[in-house]
Amino acid sequence: MDRRTIFGGQLLPALLVLPQLVLTLFFFYWPAAEAVWSSMTTTDPFGQGSVFVGLENFAELFSDPLYLQAILRTVGFCLAVSVLAMAVALLLAVFADREIRGRAIYRTLLIWPYAVAPALSAVLFLFLLNPQVGLIGRWLNRHGIPWDYHLDGGQALLMVVLASAWKQVSYNFIFYLAGLQSIPRAVVEAARMDGARGWRRFRTITLPLLAPTTFFLLVVNLVYAAFDTFGTIYAITKGGPGQATETLVIKVYRDGMINQDIGGSSAQSVVLMLGVIVVTAVQFRFMGRRTSA
Amino acid sequence: MKRGPDYVTHAVLILGVLLFALPVWLILAGATQDSDAIARGELSLLPDPSGLGIYARVLFAGAPGSQPVWHMLLVSTGMALAIAVGKIVISVLSAYAVVFFRFPFRQLAFWAIFITLMLPVEVRIIPTYAVMAGFGLINTFTGLWLPLIASATATLLFRQVFTAIPDELVEAARMDGAGPLRFLRDIALPVSAANVAALFVILFVYGWNQYLWPLLVATDPRLDTIVIGIVKLIGVENQTDWGAVMATATLALVPPVIVVLLMQRWFVAGLTEGEK
């Protein structure tokens, strides 16, 4: 879809595109190349320099049960966060789409959490679920349900899932509401004439028409859960207790920045990059050009 | 079809609103209360108006060993503005070049930018750190924002907007003797003002909410953003000053929420527009 009318000149456009190209080169391609390179090297035993080892780091990575567990955990975490955040958002959007008094106010009050930082949603959940300070955490302990996410891995995982999903509902809500509003009234009316009501109308008419939105949101939510939740998880649990909340990104950070295993961490980065590229390709294959912020 | 109020709908929506409002109410009410009482588990749902001084305390004094909150807010604001403005500027320029000119390697340049679409900094933590160190950008304010302003998303958006500008408009401007830069300033930018506004909100929030990046490139407390600062505050859970945590959390929350609420209409339209 190129323009017919264009301006002449070669130097000006080159200058215009230069800042972005330079930044992209320095902060995307160079680090990516650096990651690929260090993923194939290892520090020599005397710590003097790096030795080329080919795909050894990758072989090591995929034979490490901790890494394989982290992959499974991340997949489970991402699915749980996405399904939860999307289901709640869809429910709220369906009701907010109805003709009721005060709907503009409801919408505003459901949209603002978009602005909450992932790390900050962790802090907010602390005051709900912390065993000593949190409103719900204290209540659980008082009523004979032992609750302490510092000790119990399952509870820690539940907490980071809830905090991560909570923050993402608004984003999904905005898109589902826009999706619902773009369903032609005629379609809804026709369904009503045919006697489809309530749940049946929702299942047979609304849900299929929202399928493109749902697919788009699924991709965005999975990517959000995989990457943007670093702040949420790191602020509450730092990946613990043990490895209970260690997603792939937390593991890259722990292995690379804290344990200084550059080769292993870089290999993990490369695997993640390939993962993102596959997801992006799938998205574009099925969706055409859609972008998220 | 006239009916009474739809109670079920109101009930569901109010529940939804409370789901989001409750945690925020907790910190608003809690900030004004005695930290020791909170630590003993006596967090009340009612604010204590006499405790409002906590805001002055965290804003100007700060916790021991950390910067006062006004300084963190300043760093966060600077970072969020630099990212939002920087991204918009370089994306407008590169999209304008790609759409309105034909130059060698135009497609290559576009694809080089495009491919980076979904490669967040989270996937290349260590190597990016190495590059940053090479440039001497560790522990500098520039290091906080510069690497984050290169992104394909905004470029793609402006490419779409610029492509949609009618040819007649360009022709007319050229007849009037407008060169490419004047056309950009007088026509292309004004017609995409709504997109710029929407993008500004999205990017400001994105910049304000960064956590991993500042954690990585800045260890100097003078470069602590408010998001970094709040997580540091809860780091030592046994001796946490909970009132200060809650007051700081409130101050961290307010600016991006205000930006979203003030520009809600543009923001919602801009966010969903690209998706249709």
Kindly identify which residue of chain A lies nearest to residue B204, measuring between CA atoms: A115
Q: Is A10 in the B-facing interface, judged by CB distances under 8 Å?
A: yes
Superfamily of domain B63-273: MetI-like (1.10.3720.10)
Q: Is A290 in the B-facing interface, judged by CB distances under 8 Å?
A: yes
* CATH number of the domain residue A95 falls in: 1.10.3720.10
Q: CA–CA separation, A173 vs A86, rounded Å?
A: 8
Band (pLDDT 50/70/90 cuts) for residue A77 is very high
Report pLDDT digits (tens) over B146-202: 988 887 888 888 988 898 888 888 888 888 888 888 888 888 889 888 889 989 999
Q: Which SS3 state, helix, strand or coil, does residue A42 take?
A: strand
Q: Report CB contact under 8 Å: A124, B20.
A: no
Query: Average model confidence (pLDDT) for chain A?
Result: 86
Residue boundaries of the structural domains of chain B: 63-273
Query: Which residue among A100, A174, A293 sits closest to B6, beta carbon to beta carbon?
Result: A100
Residue A149 lies in a domain: yes
Tell me the C-alpha to C-alpha distance, in Å, between residue B86 and each of A13, A21, A90, A229, B73.
Answer: 18, 14, 34, 25, 19
Report pLDDT digits (tens) over A123-179: 999 989 988 888 898 899 889 888 888 889 999 999 999 999 999 999 999 999 999
pTM of the entire predicted model: 0.90
Q: Is A228 in the B-facing interface, judged by CB distances under 8 Å?
A: yes
CB neighbours of residue B98 within 10 Å = 26
ipTM above 0.90, yes or no: no
CB contacts, 8 Å: A38 with chain B: 126-127, 130
Q: CA–CA separation, A14 vs B149, rounded Å?
A: 19
Q: What is the pLDDT, as a whole number, of residue B3?
A: 57
Kindly identify which residue of chain A lies nearest to residue B231, measuring between CA atoms: A235
Which residues touch A155 (CB under 8 Å, ≥6 apart)?
A: A147, A148, A149
Q: What is the pLDDT, as a whole number, of residue A102?
A: 86
Q: What is the pLDDT, as a whole number, of residue A276?
A: 83
Which one of A59-68, A158-167, A177-186, B123-132 scores highest in mean pLDDT? A158-167
CB neighbours of residue B19 within 10 Å = 15
- Structural domain tally of chain A? 1
Band (pLDDT 50/70/90 cuts) for residue A290 is very low
C-beta separation of A118 from A229 below 8 A: yes
Tell me the mean pLDDT in the region A210-225: 90
Q: What is the pLDDT, as a whole number, of residue B253?
A: 93
C-beta separation of B211 from B200 below 8 A: no
Band (pLDDT 50/70/90 cuts) for residue B275 is very low
Cis peptide before A31 (omega within 30 of 0): no
Residue A292 lies in a domain: no
Q: What does the angle CA A73 – CA A79 – CA A84 come to, to the nearest 5 degrees?
A: 125
Q: CA–CA separation, B53 vs B31, rounded Å?
A: 10
Q: What is the pLDDT, as a whole number, of residue A265?
A: 86
Report pLDDT digits (tens) over A2-16: 676 678 888 888 898
- Residue A28 is given by DSSP the state I
Report pLDDT digits (tens) over B42-85: 777 787 777 788 888 888 886 666 788 899 999 999 999 999 99
Domain that holds residue A64: 58-287
Q: What is the pLDDT, as a whole number, of residue B65?
A: 66
Tokens 């790096």, located at residue: A50
Q: What is the pLDDT, as a whole number, of residue A292?
A: 42
Kindly identify which residue of chain B lies nearest to residue A17, measuring between CA atoms: B94
Residue A24 lies in a domain: no
Q: Computed from CA positions of residues B17, B19, B20, B23, in that sequence, does the dihedral angle turn out positive or negative?
A: positive
> Which pair of tokens denotes residue B181?
């830069």
Q: Report CB contact under 8 Å: A293, B206.
A: yes
Tell me the C-alpha to C-alpha distance, in Å, between residue B96 and each of A25, B152, B245.
Answer: 19, 14, 45
Q: CA–CA separation, B121 vs B139, rounded Å?
A: 17
* Comparison of pLDDT for B93 and A285, the residue scoring more: B93
Report pLDDT digits (tens) over B196-255: 998 999 999 999 999 999 998 888 888 999 999 999 888 765 677 888 888 899 999 999
Residue A143 lies in a domain: yes
Q: CA–CA separation, B171 vs B190, rounded Å?
A: 17
C-beta separation of B166 from A253 below 8 A: no
Instruction: Examine the pLDDT at A270 and tell me if it is beyond 80.
Output: yes
Tell me the C-alpha to C-alpha distance, in Å, between residue B123 and each of A220, A240, B196.
Answer: 16, 20, 28
Tell me the C-alpha to C-alpha distance, in Å, between residue B92 and each of A58, B174, B240.
Answer: 40, 20, 45
Q: Please name which of B156, B232, B143 lies closest in space to residue B199, comparing C-alpha atoms.
A: B156
Instruction: Render A173-208 in DSSP notation, one character per residue.
Output: HHHHHHHHHTS-HHHHHHHHHTT--HHHHIIIIIHH
Instruction: Examine the pLDDT at B16 and tell me if it is beyond 70.
Output: yes
Residue A15 lies in a domain: no
Q: Report CB contact under 8 Å: A280, B117.
A: yes
Q: Please name which of A226, A214, A228 lies closest in space to residue A283, comparing C-alpha atoms.
A: A214
Residue A33 lies in a domain: no
Q: What is the pLDDT, as a whole number, of residue B168?
A: 86
Of A42-46, A51-55, B106-110, least confident by mean pLDDT is A42-46
Q: CA–CA separation, B165 vs B168, rounded Å?
A: 9
Q: Report CB contact under 8 Å: A123, B171.
A: no
Band (pLDDT 50/70/90 cuts) for residue B276 is very low
C-beta separation of B198 from B266 below 8 A: yes
C-beta separation of A251 from A70 below 8 A: yes
Residue A232 lies in a domain: yes
Tell me the mean pLDDT in the region A19-45: 85
C-beta separation of B49 from B33 below 8 A: no
Q: Please name which of B157, B165, B204, B116 lies closest in space to residue A291, comparing C-alpha atoms.
A: B157
Band (pLDDT 50/70/90 cuts) for residue A112 is very high
Band (pLDDT 50/70/90 cuts) for residue A234 is very high
Distance from CA of A199 to the nearest CA of B (A): 14
